[in-house]
Amino acid sequence: MGFDTINGRWTVRGNGHSKGPPPDEYSQFIKVIGDLDKRGVIVKDFRIGLVDFPHIRPNGEEVYLCWMSGDEKIGFWHRISEGFMGRIPLEE
């Protein structure tokens, strides 16, 4: 048995049966995600620690700054329509 954080319920080997309230950590997790959202941070994938930050480039284009767990600093950006696969180093 485990807790499915995507669907917010307990599962028994993937059959989807719920069992009891979510663990306390899940409520804390939801609160942290909500707090980040209020600050404009977009959590793209919490499992790998991928987040985007809205940003306006000097030319007026709205893009996302991109950070992933393991990155020492925010070093990439991408156009909103391109997503993670379109990451470009900040220097460019």
Q: Judge if 18 and 48 occupy the same domain.
A: no
- 67 and 87 housed in the same domain: yes
Residues 80 and 92 in one domain: yes
pTM exceeding the 0.75 threshold for the entire prediction: no
47 and 92 belong to one structural domain: yes
- The 10 Å CB-count burial string (b at 16+, else e) for 60-82 is eeebbebbbeeeeeeebbbeeee
User: What digits encode the pLDDT tens for the residues 33-61?
Assistant: 999 999 999 999 988 999 999 999 999 99
pLDDT at 19: 66
55 and 27 both lie in a single domain: no
Q: Could you give the maximum distance between any two Cα atoms of the chain, in Å?
A: 52
* Count of domains forming the chain: 2
* Residues 51 and 92 grouped into a single domain: yes
Look up the domain containing 60 and give its range. 40-92
